[in-house]
Amino acid sequence: MTDTLQQNLVEIHDMSFYRGTRPIYKNMNLTVPKGKVTAIMGPSGIGKTTLLRLIGGQLKPQAGQILFDGEDVPSMTRSRLYEVRKRMSMLFQSGALFTDLSVFDNVAYPLREHLNLPEPVLHNLVLMKLQSVGLRGAANMMPSELSGGMARRAALARAIALDPDLIMFDEPFAGQDPISMGVIVKLIAELNQSLGLTCIVVSHDVNEVLSIADYAYIVAEQHIIAGGTSQELRHNDDLRVKQFLDGLADGPVPFHYPAVDYKLDLSRGVN
Partner 1 sequence: MLNLIAKLGQSTINIIAMLGRSGLMLFGALIGKPQFSKQFPLLVKQFYFVGVQSLSIIIVSGLFIGMVLALQGYFILTTFGAEASLGMLVALALLRELGPVVAGLLFAGRAGSALTAEIGLMKATEQLSSMEMMAIDPLRRIIAPRFWAGFFCMPFLTAIFVAVGILGGVLVGVDWKGIDAGFFWSSIQSNVDWWHDLGNCFIKSFAFAIASTWIALFNGYDCVPTSEGISRATTNTVVYSSLVILGLDFILTALMFSN
Binding interface with partner 1 (CB under 8 A): 53, 56, 58, 82-83, 85-86, 88-90, 92-94, 96-99, 109-110, 113-114, 155, 158, 162
User: Which helix (DSSP H) or strand (DSSP E) does residue 214 occupy?
Assistant: none
Shortest Å, Cβ 169 to partner 1 = 12
Shortest Å, Cβ 56 to partner 1 = 5
Shortest Å, Cβ 90 to partner 1 = 4
**Cα 248 to Cα 222, 231, 232, 243, 253, distances in angstroms:** 21, 19, 19, 5, 9
Shortest Å, Cβ 85 to partner 1 = 4
Q: Which is nearer to partner 1, 96 or 224 (CB)?
A: 96
Q: Which is nearer to partner 1, 187 or 226 (CB)?
A: 187
For the beta carbon of residue 11, count every other beta carbon within 10 angstroms: 21
Q: Which is nearer to partner 1, 113 or 265 (CB)?
A: 113
Separation of first and last alpha carbons in the chain: 66
Dihedrals phi, psi of 18, to nearest 5 degrees:
-120, 145
Shortest Å, Cβ 110 to partner 1 = 5
For residue 29, give the nearest of 271, 217, 192 by alpha carbon.
217
Q: Which is nearer to partner 1, 108 or 218 (CB)?
A: 108
Q: Which is nearer to partner 1, 157 or 241 (CB)?
A: 157
**Cα 55 to Cα 60, 133, 182, 267, distances in angstroms:** 9, 25, 27, 49
| 69, 5 Cβ separation under 8 angstroms | yes
Q: Which is nearer to partner 1, 166 or 210 (CB)?
A: 166
Shortest Å, Cβ 98 to partner 1 = 6
Q: How many CA atoms lie within 13 A of 224 on its CB side?
A: 19
SS3 69: coil
